Amino acid sequence: MIMTDILLDGFFAAIAAIGFGSISNVPVRAFKGCALLAAAGHATRFVLTHACGWGLIPAAFIGALVIGFFAPKASRHWRIPAEALAFPALLPMIPGMYAYRSVEGLLQCIMSKDAETFTHAFYLFGYNGMVCVIIVILMVLGATVPIIVDARRQTDNSDTKTA
Amino acid sequence: METYRLVILAISLAMPLFVVALKKFTFAFQNYKKRTLSCQEKLFLNNECYDYVTAGHMAEEEVMIKDNETGMVYDDYELEQL
Amino acid sequence: MTTTNLNSSKETAHFLATYAATMLAAGGSSARCEKTVHRIAEAYGTTAEITILPHTVMTTVWDKDHSQSFSVGEKLPATGLNFYVISRLSRLSWDVRDNGITLEDAKNEFRSIMKKPRLNPWLVTLLTGLANASFCRLFEGDWRAMLIVFIATVNGFWIKNALHKEWKWDIRLAVLFAACCSSVIACAGFMFQCTDTPDIALGTSVLYLVPGIPYINSVSDLIHGHLLCCISRFIEASVLTACLGIGLSVGILLMNIQYF
């Protein structure tokens, strides 16, 4: 796996995070942080799926863990809450294709004429829907747990603020 | 087959302009309606009641005011001088 | 129990109700809202509990002696997602605790935070177009597919905002219409045979409409145990996703493309 592919993947993920973050009015000074986190997480997922042959679900989880691991440090550096940096950075990894393939499966279910097409469409709806939901749950888990752990550690050590 | 696809594509591409232009047009139309309607209402000014009259086509903001008792028509500058 | 104590508890309750409602409406997770409200209430010598419901939030503030309580129910304002507001409101809670800001100053700071305008809409449209084009690239689309997706996204995003903000359409209808327009434009890849990956262009052209932050917030609520909020946010986000799926299908049907 060439380095350029990984860097390109990270670069485009960074642009995607900045763009989708701007819809939710992320402050401009947070753009750099979101971009770096998104690049790190997405590139990790890319490496795991393409080079190590992992499935999408565990790779997305590990990618989100990377984001969650670096988010508190970024939040202290840029003085922005860790979630405000991590959640936009997770956006490029959201499996939008699965989400509306499952909606299309649902529509096909309704328009189907016999049991076989219905079963196939229902399978598409169920499978894509489940994969999408599981990926989102694991991603947010992977991003939030390190942030929570870090916050607990901060309040245990001293009473200083995280952001 | 191809032409109707091109038509739908062209409509979609032009849709933002259409949406914005239609909004501005409806806004201007509602303003025009409001102005012409209010000319039918009475104006209470200086403790007197005056009727609005439309002097021709009211495209401008200026309105003429008619005193029902004397039948005189004033514009708002003249009214203030009374 | 002095009147000043009562009055200040009452004012704190009103302020915290508005604070909590604004933070939730701006897309803050329930856990963050609770933490910040508790922080501010403690700093002012009161205790606060909030009850978070899908469209309202109930804030109950107890005074120092735990003898009187004020409950304020406030409807969540209809502002869009706003991470700037979330981060500034969080910072305000830290300032109240660490720097001892008075309630009046906190209210003034709150007002000035709410007055700050959002990012320039043209810039946001451009960035969204670039973001969706990057998405297309991430799914291994080629450069011409990226260009088609950029045009479709800019077009659809502008339509969605115009329909929702100026025409006051329901957001679901606006999303459906915008998805339809975006998918029609993305079908140009099939029509003109100008790209090697027309199906990727079509597939990614509507992804900018997927409500990512509500999904993420719903799972965050699930992790922290706010199941009601989790389910309500998830269902709202799923309805929006269904609308964009329907809009995409309508667009494909209109252009008579064999995509499935």
Taking 80 as the threshold, does the pLDDT of residue C176 lie above it?
yes
Whether C137 contacts chain A with CB within 8 A: yes
Q: Which residue ranges make up each domain of chain A?
A: 3-157
Instruction: Note the pLDDT of residue C63.
Output: 86
Helices (H), chain C: 3-25, 30-43, 83-99, 103-115, 121-138, 143-161, 171-186, 188-192, 198-204, 212-223, 227-255
Instruction: Note the pLDDT of residue B35.
Output: 61
Contacts of A139 (CB under 8 A, 6+ apart): A60, A61, A63, A64, A90, A93, A94, C216, C219
| Residue C114 three-state SS | helix
C181/B5 Cβ within 8 A:
no
Residue B46 or B66, more confident: B66
Task: Give the closest-approach CA distance of C194 to chain B in angstroms.
Answer: 15
Question: How does residue A161 score in pLDDT terms, banded at 50, 70 and 90?
Answer: low
Which ipTM did the prediction report? 0.87
Instruction: Note the pLDDT of residue A79.
Output: 84
Taking 60 as the threshold, does the pLDDT of residue A15 lie above it?
yes
Report the DSSP pairing between strands C56-62 and B73-75. Answer: unpaired
Task: Give the closest-approach CA distance of B16 to chain C in angstroms.
Answer: 5
Instruction: Note the pLDDT of residue C198.
Output: 84
Write the pLDDT tens digit of every residue in C67-113: 888 999 999 998 889 999 999 999 999 999 888 888 899 999 999 99
Instruction: Note the pLDDT of residue A31.
Output: 92
Task: Give the closest-approach CA distance of C259 to chain A in angstroms.
Answer: 11
Instruction: Give the residues across from B75 on adjacent strands.
Output: B64
Element at B64 (helix H, strand E): strand B64-66
Taking contacts as CB-CB distances below 8 angstroms, the residues of chain C near B23 are: 162, 166-167
A91/C220 Cβ within 8 A:
no
Write the pLDDT tens digit of every residue in A25-77: 998 888 999 999 999 999 999 999 988 888 899 999 999 999 999 999 999 89
Taking 90 as the threshold, does the pLDDT of residue C189 lie above it?
no
Taking 80 as the threshold, does the pLDDT of residue C3 lie above it?
no
Lowest mean pLDDT among A2-11, A133-142, B29-38: B29-38
A91/C128 Cβ within 8 A:
no
Amino acid at C174: A
Q: Give the 3-state DSSP-derived string for chain A, with helices as H, strands as E and coil as C.
A: CCHHHHHHHHHHHHHHHHHHHHHCCCCHHHHHHHHHHHHHHHHHHHHHHHCCCCCHHHHHHHHHHHHHHHHHHHHHHHCCCHHHHHHHHHHHHCCHHHHHHHHHHHHHHHHCCCHHHHHHHHHHHHHHHHHHHHHHHHHHHHHHHHHHHHHHHHHHHCCCCCC
Kindly state the average pLDDT of the residues A119-146. Answer: 92
Residue B45 phi, psi (nearest 5): -140, 135
Q: Which residues of B touch C (CB under 8 A)?
A: 1-2, 5-6, 8-9, 12-13, 15-16, 19-20, 23
Question: How does residue B37 score in pLDDT terms, banded at 50, 70 and 90?
Answer: low
Instruction: Note the pLDDT of residue B45.
Output: 47
Q: What percent of chain A has pLDDT over 70?
A: 96
Q: Which residue ranges make up each domain of chain C?
A: 3-115, 121-255
Q: What percent of chain B has pLDDT over 90?
A: 7
Question: How does residue B57 score in pLDDT terms, banded at 50, 70 and 90?
Answer: very low
Instruction: Note the pLDDT of residue C167.
Output: 86
